[in-house]
Chain A
């Protein structure tokens, strides 16, 4: 009888070992080994499609020609949250890819978790310096003075306005609003409201890309204290911006506006494209959609109106490329990052698609001669990046919630922003220990 138990246990142990073996095999795939002697394969995870993927393939081709000992293996992982989860599991499991495309917004969080390779030394040796890029792009790629990502592309927010609507109500389409006061009066002229329903909306401050980050900076506020690193969402200027948004909402009845915005569609149903809203704050990425769904739309872009009518500003995000902690071929992967971070790679990777993080490349693209694109290029040197903190997502969500609460009359802007500041700073405390 003992013998049978022994065999049973033995079988169990065998099975366990077998299953361990299977999982072990599973983890060793994906890093990719050199198929030829002397050639190192670098695995790159990305979520690119269509033109961006074509560009990346092109970058890889040019890079491989110059570096015959390196092969870049592009692996598509679903974009947005999905890709992060996959990367998260891979990093946590100690088996990350050699490099990955990554939203710069998340660099702070991942760096604080110790999951990104510090690129500072390699960058210095390769001559990759802050001065090459727009300041915000470098700042958003760094955490606590160390570089963790190479910025790839960027965007910016501006005021888009419908020139036909402007003509229709007697506004000069070549002289769009510059100050907040002008913006308000234009919005009033453009709005057509019947009862609770908008037949046409002039402007909604928090619609699309125009929300608290946008207005906080446009009003001259700061969301983070540069010296202490503490969050200052209750900066008087930010409070002022939110107060303005709240008052705007009150004027047009926020419930009616919410009915409009929550239901606003995308693509051909986008209210700006279909002419249901006359002005909105959005980014350069919207240009492509307008071209595709309503190429005849007569619109212009202008700097986001500010209280003074000057010192225009905006904010920018964008993609980057990182080397996860624990990557097997970090040294070789760096060669590719370096290539992407310098002018030649930048020009290839953003062609006919995105704004480059290097000004000279955008000039080369001819963006400075394009009536729409030049406005974006003009504002980029003054653009802001979101605070690089481990709790970037929390701050984002808290600001969104404060905006919603204030505009709906649940607490004053000051109260709500005080609470955001307190919540986020409290969450940040544990990283300063």
Chain B
């Protein structure tokens, strides 16, 4: 075999040979990447494609099941708990995602101020994200205990009769949204990075024009932060639709009270691993995939109107 041509200066190599060497480099690259590609194929592509197939069968994990066409999907659309879980999940997403952006941006702006000891505040707001979700849910169960919890205790001391929180159908999802905001630190860090990226010149220019803090925020900070908001919006939406750990641990997998805490992925898990209806669960997974895909596409399409990139 001839020697690898890559060592020779490119200009000295005739065009055809150069092409060949490039291809060689390409192949070497593919070879190096192949373990990863293999992993991707084996652990993502194959399971995904099989789950499409399983969604048309009565696969139960322990038995291969038979092909039943679209009947899993038909059954799903007639399953009241499926609709309830979609409702719960959308409810959560609709309130949680905008709220998390609002709170996240506000927090980041506060944490961006040049005050002494700011590093400490930043740490404080980031710390809760380091607590495992299961531990977090147990902690919150204590805090939100209707009769003996700290929250209602504090409310009682100022004369307010606190709600049943996780015990009531009307309050369970708002409570969950409140708890989920606890894990906002991750997003705040990204917003902070985005804020740090905004050039000081804009503010100086705005100050010369006599802009107030509010005007600066509205005309400079927010528009230039939109790429980061966009990122967090997409990730937040996807995350909200995959809500699982918190409600699962809070309700011991039961979705109580009255299925008000049965979230989509929880119900999917229950079908797959507790009822052994893996075909049904696969169908649910694909519906979720389509929903999330569509929403993400929608966000991407509308983003052209409101996302501003610096220097463009």
Interface residue? B133 (CB, 8 A):
no
* Distance (whole angstroms) from the CB of A424 to the closest CB of chain B: 11
Q: Which of B5-13, B199-207, B209-217, B268-276 contacts A (4 or more CB under 8 A)?
A: B268-276
Interface residue? A1 (CB, 8 A):
yes
CA distance A401 to B161 in the complex (A): 29
Interface residue? A197 (CB, 8 A):
yes
B26-57 vs A, CB cutoff 8 Å, 1 = contact: the mask equals: 01001100110010001000000000000000
Interface residue? B256 (CB, 8 A):
yes
**Residues of B in contact with A, size category:** 35 or more
Q: Is the CB–CB distance between B146 and A391 below 8 Å?
A: no
Interface residue? A263 (CB, 8 A):
yes
Q: Is the CB–CB distance between B58 and A430 below 8 Å?
A: yes
Q: Which of B60-68, B183-191, B233-241 contacts A (4 or more CB under 8 A)?
A: B60-68
CA distance A139 to B42 in the complex (A): 43
* Distance (whole angstroms) from the CB of A393 to the closest CB of chain B: 5
Q: Is the CB–CB distance between B62 and A88 below 8 Å?
A: yes
The interface residues of chain A lying within 8 Å CB-to-CB of B97 are none
Q: Is the CB–CB distance between A1 and B20 below 8 Å?
A: yes
CA distance A320 to B102 in the complex (A): 53
Q: Is the CB–CB distance between A262 and B167 below 8 Å?
A: yes
Interface residue? A170 (CB, 8 A):
no
Interface residue? B136 (CB, 8 A):
no
Residue of B nearest to A261 (CB): B167
Interface residue? B259 (CB, 8 A):
yes
The interface residues of chain B lying within 8 Å CB-to-CB of A91 are 62
Q: Is the CB–CB distance between B31 and A255 below 8 Å?
A: no
Residue of A nearest to B31 (CB): A11
Interface residue? A394 (CB, 8 A):
yes
Q: With A4-B24, A8-B30 as given contacts, are A394 and B62 in contact (CB-CB < 8 Å)?
A: no
Within 8 Å by CB of A263, from B30, B146, B258, lies B146
A70-97 vs B, CB cutoff 8 Å, 1 = contact: the mask equals: 0000000000010011001001100000
Q: Is the CB–CB distance between B258 and A113 below 8 Å?
A: no
Q: Is the CB–CB distance between A263 and B145 below 8 Å?
A: yes
Interface residue? A258 (CB, 8 A):
yes
Q: Is the CB–CB distance between A258 and B257 below 8 Å?
A: yes
The interface residues of chain A lying within 8 Å CB-to-CB of B164 are 255, 258-259, 262-263
CA distance A233 to B147 in the complex (A): 35
Q: Is the CB–CB distance between B167 and A404 below 8 Å?
A: no
Residue of B nearest to A81 (CB): B273
CA distance A410 to B35 in the complex (A): 56
The interface residues of chain B lying within 8 Å CB-to-CB of A88 are 61-62, 273
Within 8 A of B (CB), among A238-269: 255, 258-263, 265, 269
Within 8 Å by CB of A85, from B27, B253, B258, B273, lies B273
Interface residue? A69 (CB, 8 A):
no
Q: Is the CB–CB distance between A404 and B62 below 8 Å?
A: no
Interface residue? B306 (CB, 8 A):
no
Interface residue? A181 (CB, 8 A):
no
Q: Is the CB–CB distance between B27 and A8 below 8 Å?
A: yes
B160-198 vs A, CB cutoff 8 Å, 1 = contact: the mask equals: 010011111000000000000000000000000000000
Q: Is the CB–CB distance between B276 and A113 below 8 Å?
A: yes
Q: Is the CB–CB distance between A197 and B38 below 8 Å?
A: no
The interface residues of chain B lying within 8 Å CB-to-CB of A255 are 164, 168
The interface residues of chain B lying within 8 Å CB-to-CB of A12 are 34, 38
The interface residues of chain A lying within 8 Å CB-to-CB of B259 are 401
Q: With A8-B30, A255-B164, A261-B167 as given contacts, are A16 and B38 in contact (CB-CB < 8 Å)?
A: yes
CA distance A197 to B146 in the complex (A): 9
Q: Is the CB–CB distance between B167 and A258 below 8 Å?
A: yes
Within 8 A of B (CB), among A84-114: 84-85, 88, 91-92, 109-110, 113-114
Interface residue? A405 (CB, 8 A):
yes
Q: Is the CB–CB distance between B167 and A259 below 8 Å?
A: yes
Interface residue? A19 (CB, 8 A):
yes
* Distance (whole angstroms) from the CB of B2 to the closest CB of chain A: 11
Q: Is the CB–CB distance between B147 and A259 below 8 Å?
A: yes
Q: Is the CB–CB distance between A4 and B62 below 8 Å?
A: no
The interface residues of chain B lying within 8 Å CB-to-CB of A258 are 164, 167-168, 257
**Residues of A in contact with B, size category:** 35 or more
* Distance (whole angstroms) from the CB of A179 to the closest CB of chain B: 31
Interface residue? A408 (CB, 8 A):
yes
Q: Is the CB–CB distance between B60 and A262 below 8 Å?
A: no
Residue of B nearest to A85 (CB): B273
Interface residue? B149 (CB, 8 A):
yes
CA distance A255 to B62 in the complex (A): 42
Interface residue? A291 (CB, 8 A):
no
Within 8 A of A (CB), among B142-166: 142, 144-149, 161, 164-166
Interface residue? B23 (CB, 8 A):
yes
A391-433 vs B, CB cutoff 8 Å, 1 = contact: the mask equals: 1011001001100110010100000000000000000001000
Residue of A nearest to B273 (CB): A85
The interface residues of chain B lying within 8 Å CB-to-CB of A120 are none
Residue of B nearest to A404 (CB): B258
* Distance (whole angstroms) from the CB of A415 to the closest CB of chain B: 14
Residue of A nearest to B145 (CB): A263
Residue of A nearest to B156 (CB): A197
CA distance A352 to B255 in the complex (A): 35
B239-255 vs A, CB cutoff 8 Å, 1 = contact: the mask equals: 00000000000000110
Q: Is the CB–CB distance between B273 and A394 below 8 Å?
A: no
The interface residues of chain B lying within 8 Å CB-to-CB of A113 are 60, 62-63, 276
Q: Is the CB–CB distance between B168 and A259 below 8 Å?
A: yes
Residue of B nearest to A88 (CB): B61
Q: With A4-B27, A259-B147, A263-B148 as given contacts, are A114 and B63 in contact (CB-CB < 8 Å)?
A: yes
Q: Is the CB–CB distance between B60 and A260 below 8 Å?
A: no
Residue of B nearest to A393 (CB): B274
CA distance A12 to B36 in the complex (A): 12
Residues of A within 8 A of B (CB): 1, 3-5, 8, 11-12, 15-16, 19, 81, 84-85, 88, 91-92, 109-110, 113-115, 196-198, 255, 258-263, 265, 269, 391, 393-394, 397, 400-401, 404-405, 408, 410, 430
Instruction: Identify the 4 closest CB pairs spanning chains A and B, nearest first.
Output: A262-B167, A259-B164, A113-B62, A263-B145
User: Can you list 22 contacts pairing A with B, beta carbon distance less than 8 Å?
Assistant: A1-B20, A4-B23, A4-B27, A5-B27, A15-B38, A19-B38, A84-B273, A85-B273, A88-B62, A110-B62, A113-B63, A197-B147, A198-B147, A258-B164, A258-B257, A259-B146, A263-B145, A263-B148, A394-B275, A400-B254, A401-B259, A410-B258
